């Protein structure tokens, strides 16, 4: 019975305000990934297939985890994040919605941006919402059809979208899921009668000891 484990990348460049600058792990991000890889190894986790997006932060996370010791890492651009920084900039220019500077501000900002994007109200978006949702659905369907346990290293927005598609969430629920997902968190699906069943959400067991609490990050 196929199992799919999705992992969000480690902490990236938290001071970035564009897609390119954000796309690299911080020192803490690499450490989070190493801790996760060590935890999986100590727990006896084995994966027959390993996937990641083509973004630098995805590849760096998979490498720091030691994911290539399980299988060759297959890079798939369909597992890349949507362009949130670009969408936010366009939202500000076209609708006057300012980009927040603190995490609390994203509670209102994220659903506003995602809702406008889904409704086609952001002109010049680098990708339509439907194109993004379809590529995520197609990639996950192909992975689910494979044999053996699969590990997928990707981004929070993509994981949130898989959750949305699994649980039939509206924009508000989708946004809440995305906001909750922590760096190097683990999410698991099991295929039952051809349908994905969510069995674990947002686990950071590798960061639960007191000396690692500081590494439980969202941004």
The closest alpha carbon to 218, from 116, 131, 107, belongs to: 107
Q: Which residue shows structure tokens 């990050």?
A: 217
85 near 179, Cβ under 8 Å? no
Structural domain total, the chain:
1
The closest alpha carbon to 166, from 130, 119, 133, 215, belongs to: 133
Q: Residue 97: what are its φ and ψ, rounded to 5°? A: -95, 110
Residue 190 structural domain: 3-215
Q: For residues 207 and 198, give the distance between their C-alpha atoms in angstroms, rounded to a whole number.
A: 22
65 near 42, Cβ under 8 Å? no
Q: What is the pLDDT of residues 168-212, one digit of tens each?
A: 999 999 999 999 999 999 999 998 877 889 999 999 999 999 999
CATH code for the domain of 199: 3.40.50.1240
pTM of the complete model: 0.95
Q: What is the pLDDT of residues 45-98, one digit of tens each?
A: 999 999 999 999 999 999 999 998 888 999 999 999 999 999 999 999 999 999
Entry field: residues in the chain? 219
Local structure of 91: helix, strand or coil: helix
């Amino acid at each position: 019975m196929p199992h799919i484990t999705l992992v969000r990348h480690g902490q990236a460049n938290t001071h970035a305000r564009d897609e390119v600058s954000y796309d690299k792990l911080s020192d803490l991000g690499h450490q989070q990934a190493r801790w996760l890889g060590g935890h999986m190894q100590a727990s006896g986790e084995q994966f027959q297939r390993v996937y990641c997006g083509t973004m630098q932060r995805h590849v760096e996370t998979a490498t720091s985890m030691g994911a290539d010791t399980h299988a060759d890492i297959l890079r798939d651009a369909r597992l890349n994040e949507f362009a949130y920084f670009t969408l936010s900039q366009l939202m500000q220019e076209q609708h006057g919605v300012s980009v927040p500077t603190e995490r609390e501000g994203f509670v209102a900002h994220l659903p506003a941006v995602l809702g406008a994007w889904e409704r086609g109200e952001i002109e010049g978006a680098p990708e339509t919402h439907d194109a993004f949702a379809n590529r995520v659905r197609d990639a996950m369907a192909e992975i689910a059809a494979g044999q053996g346990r699969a590990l997928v290293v990707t981004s929070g927005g993509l994981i949130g979208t898989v959750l949305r598609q699994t649980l039939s969430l509206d924009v508000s629920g989708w946004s809440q899921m995305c906001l909750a997902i922590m760096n190097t968190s683990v999410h698991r699906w099991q295929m039952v009668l051809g349908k994905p069943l969510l069995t674990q959400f947002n686990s950071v067991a590798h960061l639960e000891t007191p000396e690692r609490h500081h590494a439980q990050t969202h941004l």
